[in-house]
Structure 1
């Protein structure tokens, strides 16, 4: 019994020592930040020296307007002025300067905390800029800035508003960033952006919160295109490979409604389906006319000018036909086939034409495609016109 108690006490002491050592190790692994004044960084930039900092706490406002460097004319200023919507006073009030400050320094600041505002607006960075895993606790301003080289904000956290309006990027990485509110135009990011899917989703939500709905739709559209490209055509199962239905579904959504943000694509897709089935019905004995009077009345409504654009083709084996009096033969024009295809696609058949037995499945397929396409059109149109 005493031996058991002794072993328990020994184990308890070992456990306590282990916890103490683990806690001390964790504390020792915690990042220790050293304080660096913003004025020191600005002085390096003013002298054209490279900035390379890691695990720092930046004290003071990092504002390029406080230093004197070479300047060049700001093309955005002239562009906005010539648009006629702004005058010089308006641009000055919005923070758009006539000149850009040229920064020749290679700036790399990693895993650091920015205690105050960062204002790198109206600047031209000729070399790369790295703010990897930076923690920006206040406002970040890159208004009217041009990045001539790669800009990286990988893993950065923007605690307050960040401004990238009228900014030009050569290549920028926003992989794994977190932000509250980012003012940016999608067209400046579209062809130069490197980031993950989660950042795409955050950007789309950010655009919607700022009522930039067109930007949100454009970002979401590109996000879906990239996701579609990543999916394989073949899914390899245990025994047999299968066609990737998710990829086929994405392609169908891309063709019919632009992933839910381009409703009028349904007209192009629907027109292609209707024309394809029109030639199919015209070239094969697929359907028959139930009532000659009805189809004649419909054909008379077609504008004569429109009929001139369709050449008269003498098909040897037509797919649909018009039953003539005193004859058992059928003659079908292109407009007969087009009419039947249209009413089938729109699922509003009048009953004057009907499919032959062997071709009913094709009529069902066209009707299903029409029902699905029209449904997607209405849903997408509602989505882009009625905003939350």
Structure 2
């Protein structure tokens, strides 16, 4: 049962207690949604923070560890949700937006100093459009000055960084140059742990963030299905000979952070591997095709899939065998690798399987014989 505490204290409406009764008087804060503000963008620790009366943008930025180096103080935006009364009359806009300037010492312009944050405000600190952290690529192999290079601008291309590296040496194998580029792959990990286990394991973290019960459930849900981004280096086709002849070539890519350009030394060998009798490295002979090198390495093994032979060139490109009436093996370049794959083994039917099939047909024959008239 509920009662009015003021009535009890004034004895105008006292309540008689019985044995094992419990009296609970709630604090006003416990009956309200926990009040907070959020900050995003170019601060040291973007996060959710507890709101207090009289809180300013400077207070919030200070709690978030201050600005990052790339923050632009002249463009700070505050997003404010409508309360219940406003929401029924201001349906055109979901939120109110405010824009401010703030100095590095966290002081504001005179006209903005009076602006105070409200509970549930979102503050966005933007990055300066002209601010960039250094991005690096590496040039390795047969160049005059191999090593790491910063990307000068968004327009810089492969030909530019080759020039900065002093150009190619006399031993460079231009046709074998390769480019390795990092790409992001998203992977979703589904945990087998229960909600209760996740709540227990992350109790301290949720208490530190002062999350409401609703936010705690959302936080646990996010742990159930976590998407992680992994970076993988992928080989990209690079025809450096075309780039050096014409910088407008489609292969003269714009540089990206983490790019690795490798120019090998001139190779005089061809390697043959896979389902052959003698995997070996052989001297390159101009004009010879894959079949010639396979014969020189002892020929195919019994498991060889002759129609699937392919050649991997030094620049990462692949050539395959073409079969119609005749088999035409691909051409070979210095440094190429000839690969002979094995045939796929067909699953053999065992004795037990044959017995099961015979038993099925026998049962079927008996059933048919029983149905037919005699």
TM-score by length of 1: 0.23
TM-score by length of 2: 0.23
Select the structure with the greater relative contact order (CA < 8 A; seq sep ≥ 6). Answer: 2
Normalized per residue, the structure richer in strand is 2
Structure number with larger C-alpha Rg? 2
